[in-house]
Amino acid sequence: MITVQGVVDRMGPTLLRTVHADERAPLVGDVVIAESGKRTPVSSGDLVLGIAVQSTAEAVELVRQCGEQGAAAVLLKPPHAGRHAVKAVAGRVGTGLVEVRGATAWAQLVWLLRSVLDAAADEAANELNSGAGPFGDLFRLADAAAAVVDAPVTIEDANSRVLAYSARQDRTDPARVSTIMGRRVPDDVLARFRSRGVFRELSRGRTAIFVPAQKDGTLPRLIVPVRMGGELLGSMWAVVAGPVSDERAAAFADAAPVVALHLLRRRAREDSDRRRSAELVRSVLDGTGSARLGAAELDLSDDHHRVVAIDTQAAEKLAEGVRLALLERLSAGVGRRPAVADLHGLLYAIVPDTPGPGGWPELRTALTELAGPLVAAGTPVRVGELARSRAEADEALSLLRAGLVPGPLAVHDEVWTVLVLHRTAVASTGAGVAHVGPLTHLRARGDASWYLDTLYEWLRHPGDPRAAAAALSIHPNTLRYRMSRVTAALEVDLGDPDTRLALLTQLVALRWG
- Closest Cα to residue 145, out of 134, 137, 153, 136? 153
37 CB-contact burial (10 Å; exposed 0-12 / middle 13-18 / buried 19+): exposed
- How many angstroms separate the Cα of 179 from the Cα of each of 188, 330, 361, 452? 11, 19, 25, 59
Pick among 3.30.450.40, 3.40.109.10, 3.40.50.300, 1.10.3720.10: CATH of 137-254: 3.30.450.40
Q: Phi first, then psi: give them for residue 298, nearest 5 degrees.
A: -85, -5
Q: Provide CATH 3.40.1390.20 ranges for the chain.
A: 4-115
Q: Is the dihedral of CA 279, 285, 289, 295 positive or negative?
A: positive
Give the CATH architecture of domain 4-115.
3-Layer(aba) Sandwich (3.40)
Dist CA 75 CA 73 (whole Å)? 7
Cα 491 to its chain centre, rounded Å, is: 58
pLDDT tens series, the chain, 513 aa = 789 998 888 777 778 899 999 888 889 988 888 876 777 788 888 999 998 899 999 999 999 999 999 999 999 999 999 999 999 999 999 999 999 988 777 866 776 787 678 767 766 655 544 444 433 478 888 888 888 888 999 999 888 888 888 888 877 888 888 888 777 788 888 888 988 888 888 888 778 899 999 888 899 999 999 988 778 889 999 999 999 888 888 888 888 888 888 888 777 777 676 677 778 888 888 877 777 777 777 777 778 999 999 886 655 544 455 555 555 555 544 334 568 877 777 888 888 888 766 688 877 887 776 666 788 999 999 888 888 999 999 999 999 988 888 878 999 999 998 888 888 888 887 778 878 888 887 888 777 888 889 998 999 898 899 999 998 999 999 999 999 988 888 888 888 999 988 888 888 888 776
Dist CA 394 CA 378 (whole Å)? 8
Q: Provide CATH 3.30.70.270 ranges for the chain.
A: 297-414
Give the CATH architecture of domain 421-512.
Orthogonal Bundle (1.10)
- How many angstroms separate the Cα of 354 from the Cα of each of 42, 304, 380, 381, 490? 19, 8, 10, 12, 54
Dist CA 255 CA 272 (whole Å)? 26
Superfamily name with CATH number, domain 297-414: Reverse transcriptase/Diguanylate cyclase domain (3.30.70.270)
Q: Provide CATH 3.30.450.40 ranges for the chain.
A: 137-254
Dist CA 115 CA 138 (whole Å)? 10
Q: Phi first, then psi: give them for residue 322, nearest 5 degrees.
A: -65, -40
Q: Provide CATH 1.10.10.2840 ranges for the chain.
A: 421-512
Q: Phi first, then psi: give them for residue 277, nearest 5 degrees.
A: -60, -45
